[in-house]
Structure 1
Amino acid sequence: MALLDCLSRTQKIILAILCFPLLPFYLCYVCCCSSDEDGGEAKASQKGDLRRAEEAKNDAVDGHGVKVTVNIQPSPRTLPRSTATQREQTDKSVECNVNGNREVVTVEIHPKKRTANLVKKFSFGKGKVTSRNEAVYENEGYVNDQNGTKVSNAILLAYPWDGSTLKSMRIDLNQFKQLDAYASEVRASSSVEVLVRDLLRGTSSDVEKLRAIWVWVTHHIAYDMEGYRNPNLRSASPDDVLRTGRAVCAGYSSLVQRMCSLAGIECKELSGYSKGAGYKLGNRFRGESDHAWNAVRLAGSWHLLDATWGAGHVTDNVSQFEFKYNEFYFLTHPALFVGDHFPLEGQWQLLRPQISLKQFEDAAFRKSCFYNSGLLSSQPESWLIHSDQKTTITIKSSSPTLFMQTLNDKENHGILTLKPDGMMLDVYPPEIGKHSLKIYCRDPDSTEKMYNSALHYEIQCKAVDRGLNLPEDLKNPMGPSWMSEQSGLCDPSQRDSLVHTADGRCSFSFRVDSHWEFLSMLSTEVFRMTDDEQRRHTFMSRTVDRVKFQVQIPRPGLYQLCIYGKERTMAGSFSNVCNYLISCTNPKVSWPVFPLKYTTWQEHYELVEPLSGVLPANRTIRFKMRVPGVSQVSVQGKATQDLCLDTDGFWNGCCSTAGCLDLSVMIRENPNDLTRSFILNYQVGGKSD
């Protein structure tokens, strides 16, 4: 200070400028020496700790200048739950240094994660202030507090879904069969406490306790339709919900939370936006939440469940509730749960990364049935599809699944093809504008034959394909598939569902099992075809291990070939097993029907020529066919002409159409038979000479 008195004003200013860069070091020294002066941290107990540290320091320094570290245990005192746990993780040390005759002791005592004093000294603005949560958990997970929520990436699940499991934890639902049966039959009690006590009998783990609570709530609490329509009539109190047996979503979630709390399971009520009853494609979510559900903590991690939707569903017009248990919403994988649940607090998506509200709004509307049926994914990802004549939808599944679709509630505007791992759907909107596309599915092995709604899109069509007018009675699925293979049709010669022909003729062959029998029909919307024409524009022949369907179309247009089959030993009618679409644009095409087959025509017979069922008049016609196991084949016209058997097993010969209206093919099975059987008949066109 004496030096400063000797300096002039100008010299003092120059000295201050030169020393200003050293100011931070000086301030650091001040802070470290006076850390206990902070108002929020200056506790009397810590002063006692410092005093004991000083005394320990004096005892800990030996005469040889050795550096000694002394651990100080603070005196026991009552702490908040979180602070007590943090103390167990606190580093408390006294470092004693001996340097010649000088000793420097540094003592710092603060709970882990407590804001350092240096940072507090240099906090130039408060910024966002969040109260520290006092709840303590064993893992670095979500903390249920009102001012903030902490998340650890270790418990988050990846988005999008990897397709491995519908649940957020590995559980075997079969192990719950006995528990489910018991919990579903427990009668409602006078109080929630008594009910929980009864439900938890025989349970051991938290998962079993939660399962018992979940099953009871979803089987005994009905959705409160009156409360939904009139908020003054609803109550979210767990006691009221138990007493009335009815609740809206807030009542379901509050009851689950109360029951879990009594069972010793940490549970949180969540709220947000949902795609439930009344949801329309394109809805935008703003303002207050419209749904409530729960998060529970099991084995150190948080999981999601929705007892409201697990209990059943309401009709589309929100007029009636139906109990229909839905397993999907119990411990649902977060990447699937977020498909129709968007929490107001984004961290409760339990996802890494989180999705935005716009992503939630724009995502395709996949219902719980989509995943319950083993479906994995669908394309496009957005609910709104912009179409230019044709739109293609694909679905991946974990096993073969049956599908159907409607466009504006009609089934004839799409070509659906089944695949072992899903399906492909080509949609052809009939006009420009908006169209509602719904896709349904069902398990082929299920005794339940009803299809369930799985997926919903809206198509904005900009152009229409006028060249493809699909039949009104279109029979999907189209083309060969695992379903046609199960019906005995394997190794198809035509794998595409839509076949184009330039000359109006085509054929389809399959490898078949001998115990299956088939028939086929051809139809169109171009003109009205009689039943006889529908049957006779196709011709089936069969060898030992293959069947062949030949087609001749009568005029240009789009046709549908339907193949029916059944097992020979099974009673009943034929079932549709495979379908094709056949397109021909050649204006010159005009094929007649195939020849008429009598009942004596056998499947293993094969006709090579003539294939036309109408023969020209006054012509010599060549005949060739395979008719095994007979002694004679003849063609009867104005005269009868016997055919000859060649070395390849075919009967060959010629016959004239002159002077007759039709020709018939006859067989004699045994040489000694006096009668013959008609197997084919041809019409002769034009007038005879």
Structure 2
Amino acid sequence: MERTQTDRQTDLPLLTKHQHQLLSQKIFSVPTITQTITEGAQNELEKLRAIWIWLCHNIEYDVSGYLGLTDKLCSPERVIETGRGVCCGYSSVCMQMCQEAGIECQEVSGHGKGIGYRQGQSYQNTKSLHMWNAVKLGGHWYLLDACWGAGRVDMDNKAFIKRYDDFYFLTDPEDFINSHCPDEKEWQLLDDPIPLEEFEKRVLKTSEFYRLGLTLLHPKHFLLVTENGEASVSMKFTKPVDFTYQISQRSGCEPKAVNSSSGLLTVTRESMRLRLLPPTGGTYDVMIFARSGNNSGTFSWVCSLLVECPEQEPTKELPENPFLSWGLQRSAESLGVKKCSNGAEAAVSETGSFELVLHTSRPLMMLCELTQKDLDSSIAKRCLATQIQSDRLTCNVLCPYLGYYRLSVFVRNYERPQDGFQNGGNFLLHCTGGAINLNELFPPALSTACGPGIRTQDAGLSKFSHTGALVSTQQGKCNITFQNQQDLELHAVLFKEQRKRLGHPLCRHVFFTYNSSKVTISVALPEAGVYKLGLYAKTSTDQDFSLLCDFVLCNSSGSSWPPFPCTYTAWQRGSVLFEPRGGLLEPLSWVLFRVRVPGAQRVSVVGEQLMELQLSKSRVWEGEVFTGASMSQLKLAASGGGGGSTDMAIIMSFDVLSQQNEM
């Protein structure tokens, strides 16, 4: 008996043609209209289909009659003449037209969850107020409701909204019983008819629920009672579906809207789960809306439930989620996100930090947003450090307050900056301990590209010793090594927002060593705290350095390391300083110098006297130098390095402390 959507659409031009003919001739006779609209029908189904289409498109629901403002019109002739009627008007016209067409038809009275229905409403000992039809085709009975097929009533504006709904034509009795309960059980057309009490408990599902192919897994009845302050709704489906929801608390005559933080919605490719977390004790109406995942149209109401919260649970103060769904978005895979380290449930941390990893099918760009009830937006930016690699995205999160956070991730194709960012997922974070001090957040103005990633890879840098964005040291010193395959000119900038004690500039606490293609960035930090180390590069044809990535250095050491020696442009690739590594030398002391300078013919230390270093068998220039009492600097010079010049060039300098050891 089923007809395809294409078949149904072909009925509409015929309807328009017949409608104009009958209206222009002012024909209101049931036999004449029936004969006209069924002309050419090949069987009972086609005749019934013509009657259904005509009813749904020519009769409007009589709202004023329903409200008692005018007489209700039920007789077929008056309904056809005025073009309006209540449910009995539709059913009576349908029955007479079917009789004229030779189709066995019955009017069925009963209860309908339509105009004015409220969940929990009892129909016990009340007169039924709705009517629809049962028709017999091919020896079997079927159900239809032309009144509901024609449209719906907007009671707020007391108006009928024409909205053709084909769902109520020959509806499956298993679905029909959720909204229509006949007075006589045999007209349920079910093998096992349900009692009125069960009908009252059934979840109200709209026609859109079935059109989208939804299956309600939980609950079986409309009423949910919270346990430990929670209740849940779950559905499954076979085609992509997007969801949203609305929660309102029953309070007096007017419902009180509840914000989205009272629900945690999770949508995957095949299922939906909505955790309901009422903020206080009471009764709540929940409306669930959905739309096909293949379009960006409006959401349609699909079902409603009622939630009873017997007693108030401690408020969880969940963050608002304007994107509603938690976990990865259903569309995440099409955006290039394959999987995620976090699910829809809250990720719990007792240390005040989180790491979110998204595995990607192609290079993506990422932006992140962190919110919490006490978190200022400017502070929130300093709680995030993101790393962008060709096959994964990583977001490191710091939590300065206990409680719940929302972390939203937005992505786009890395190679297409013209594409807009789209929400790929929203994650609930719960910090239960170890909240981070505001003075220990990430440095301000971090790049979106922290740690090795696509930028460093494209620049030809590889084999990093530290593959993440965060580098922790308990000694206050660290070495970051990598391979520089394209012989880039490199530069690093060390930054700390606030320094407790002033000393040498932070650039003196970073030292580069080049050994063939291997690069070592040595860092010796002057005090504890959080630093930003920016790595920059340029080629021989570039005018300016470009940022490749930022490292976040977390130093928990109380030691104060001295600066490195100051290097100059003559410090060539392949040069290695073995001793002394510190840039501050004690006065009146002998210091061993050991340095490798490729191609150098002569290496000297310039102080109170000129001290020539000697070349060892291992090609290292060595010698002991006396710092003296009057010199503030010792300078290391070399000749013959690089271009083969015999002139001495300063390659680095060391500061000599005063005799009072003042830095």
Q: Do structure 1's residue 406 and structure 2's residue 246 form an aligned pair?
A: yes
**Following the alignment from structure 1 to structure 2, what is the Cα–Cα distance between the partners of residues 600 and 524?**
24
Distance of aligned partners of 1:529 and 1:333 in 2 relative to their CA distance in 1, 3 Å threshold: same
Identity percentage of aligned residues = 26
Whole-angstrom CA distance in 2 between matches of 1:393 and 1:620 = 52
Pick one of 475, 482, 490 that aligns with 1:632. 490
Does residue 530 (structure 1) correspond to residue 384 (structure 2)? The answer is: no
> 1:503: which partner in 2?
351
User: Where does residue 364 of structure 1 map in the other structure?
Assistant: 203
Confirm or deny that 1:415 pairs with 2:264. yes
Q: Report SS of the residue matched to 2:36.
A: helix
**More helix as a share of residues:** 1
Deviates more, 1:485-494 or 1:513-522: 513-522
Three-state SS of the structure 1 residue aligned to 2:209 is helix
Q: Which residue of 2 aligns with 1:547?
A: 393
What's the counterpart of residue 157 of structure 1?
none
Within 5 Å, give how 1:242-253 maps onto structure 2. 242-253=80-91
Structure 1 residues 520 and 420, CA, compared in 2 at 3 Å: closer, same or farther? Answer: same
For residues 105-124 of structure 1, what are the structure 2 equivalents within 5 Å?
Answer: none
How far residue 406 of structure 1 moved from its aligned partner, in angstroms, is: 2.1
Q: Is the 8 A contact 2:231 2:275 kept in 1?
A: yes
Counterpart position of 1:269 = 107
In the alignment, the residues of structure 2 paired with residue 222 and residue 659 of structure 1 have an alpha-carbon distance, to the nearest angstrom, of 77
> Which of 408, 416, 421 pairs up with 1:562?
408
* Equivalent residue letter for 1:179: D
1:587 CA drift (Å): 4.6
One-letter code aligned to 2:492: S
Amino acid in structure 1 at the alignment position of 2:266 = T
Against the structure 1 CA distance between its residues 687 and 243, is the aligned structure 2 distance closer, same or farther, given a 3 Å change threshold?
Answer: farther
Contact 1:593–1:613 under 8 Å retained in 2 = no
Name the CA shift for 1:233/1:647 in 2 (closer, same or farther; >3 Å).
farther
Name 2:569's counterpart in structure 1.
none
What does the per-residue CA deviation read over 1:399-422, in whole Å, with 9 as the maximum and x for residues that have no partner? 221111222133221111112222
2:570 maps to: none
Structure 1 unaligned spans of 5+: 1-168
**Aligned twin of 1:581:** 428
CA distance in 2 between counterparts of 1:677 and 1:172 reads 61
| Aligned equivalent of 2:319, options 471, 475, 478 | 471
Q: Residue 513 of structure 1 corresponds to which residue in structure 2?
A: 361
For residue 28 of structure 1, what is the aligned residue in structure 2?
A: none
Q: Which amino acid aligns with 2:480?
A: K
1:521–1:561 Cα contact (<8 Å) kept: yes
SS at match of 2:337: coil
How far is the alpha carbon of 1:305 from its aligned partner?
0.4
Structure 1 residue 534, shift from structure 2 partner: 2.6
Q: Which residue of 1 aligns with 2:478?
A: 622
**Alignment partner of 2:441: what SS?**
coil
Aligned with 1:592 (options 441, 445, 465): 441
Q: Which residue of 1 aligns with 2:454?
A: 604
CA contact (8 A) 2:384 2:395 kept: yes
Q: Structure 1 residues 573, 625: CA separation in 2 closer, same or farther (over 3 Å shift)?
A: farther
Which one is further off, 225-234 or 239-248?
Answer: 225-234
Residues of 1 paired with 2:284 and 2:292: CA distance?
27
Distance 2:517 2:346 in 1: 35
Do 1:225 and 1:320's aligned partners in 2 also have CA atoms closer than 8 Å? yes
When normalised by structure 2's length, the TM-score is 0.71
Equivalent-residue separation in structure 2 for 1:318 and 1:346 (angstroms): 35
Equivalent residues of 1:609, 1:623 under 8 A apart: no
Q: Structure 1 residues 474, 173: CA separation in 2 closer, same or farther (over 3 Å shift)?
A: closer
* Distance in 2 of aligned mates of 1:650 and 1:180: 75
Deviation at 1:635, TM superposition (A): 3.9
CA contact (8 A) 1:543 1:604 kept: yes
Sort the Cα spacing of 1:600 and 1:329 in 2 relative to 1 into closer, same or farther, 3 A.
Answer: closer
Corresponding position of 2:31: 193
Distance 1:509 1:194, change over 3 A: same
Deviations 1:582-640 (A, max 9, x none): 11111554351256334787852589499679999xx8443637697644243442426
Quote how far apart the aligned CAs of 1:433 are: 1.5
* 1:298-337 equivalent positions in 2, closer than 5 A: 298-317=137-156, 319-337=158-176
- The yes-or-no answer on 1:215 pairing with 2:71 is no
Distance 1:523 1:305, change over 3 A: same
Q: From the superposition, tell whether residues 290 and 347 of structure 1 become closer, same or farther in structure 2 (CA, over 3 Å).
A: same
> SS state of the match for residue 536, structure 2?
strand
Larger deviation, residues 313-322 vs 414-423:
313-322
Write the distance in 2 (CA, Å) between the matches of 1:673 and 1:437: 61
Q: Kindly tell me: are residues 653 and 609 of structure 1, through their superposed partners in 2, closer, same or farther at Cα, counting changes over 3 Å? A: farther
Q: CA deviation at 1:485?
A: 1.5
Alpha-carbon offset, residue 243 of structure 1 = 0.6
Aligned-residue offset at 1:269: 0.8
The CA distance in 1 between the partners of 2:467 and 2:11, in whole Å, is 71
Note the C-alpha offset of 1:545. Answer: 1.8
- Cα offset, 1:643, TM superposition: 3.8
The residue aligned with 2:214 is: 375
Please give the per-residue CA displacement for 1:160-198, whole angstroms capped at 9, x wherever unaligned.
Answer: xxxxxxxxx443332233223312442245122222222
Q: Is the 8 A contact 2:245 2:288 kept in 1?
A: yes
Tell me which structure has the larger Cα radius of gyration: 1
Q: Deviations over 1:518-556 (max 9, x none)?
A: 21121111x13224x333322222333222222222232
1:583–1:290: structure 2 CA closer, same or farther, 3 Å change rule?
same
Alpha-carbon offset, residue 205 of structure 1: 1.4
In 2, Cα distance between the equivalents of 1:345 and 1:279? 21
State the 1:439 CA deviation.
Answer: 1.2
1:397 alignment counterpart: 237
Structure number with higher strand proportion: 2
TM-score if structure 1 supplies the norm length? Answer: 0.68
The corresponding residue for 1:294 is: 133
Q: In 2 relative to 1, CA 227–610 (structure 1 residues): closer, same or farther, beyond 3 Å?
A: closer
The 1:649–1:266 alpha-carbon spacing in structure 2 relative to 1, beyond 3 Å, is farther
Aligned residue in 2 for 1:182: 14
Q: How many residues align?
A: 516
Query: In structure 2, how many angstroms separate the alpha carbons of the residues matched to 1:649 and 1:312?
Result: 74
Which residue of the partner structure matches residue 480 of structure 1?
Answer: 328
Structure 2, unpaired ranges of 5+: 249-256, 457-463, 495-505, 561-662
Which digits, 9 at most, give the CA deviation of each residue in 1:226-268, with x for residues without a partner?
A: 1112275122111111110001000001111111111111111
Q: Within 2, Cα distance between the matches of 1:368 and 1:575?
A: 31
Q: Which moved more, 1:189-198 or 1:620-629?
A: 620-629
Aligned mates of 1:661, 1:579 — CA distance in 2: 28
User: What RMSD over aligned residues (CA atoms) do the two structures have, in Å?
Assistant: 3.3
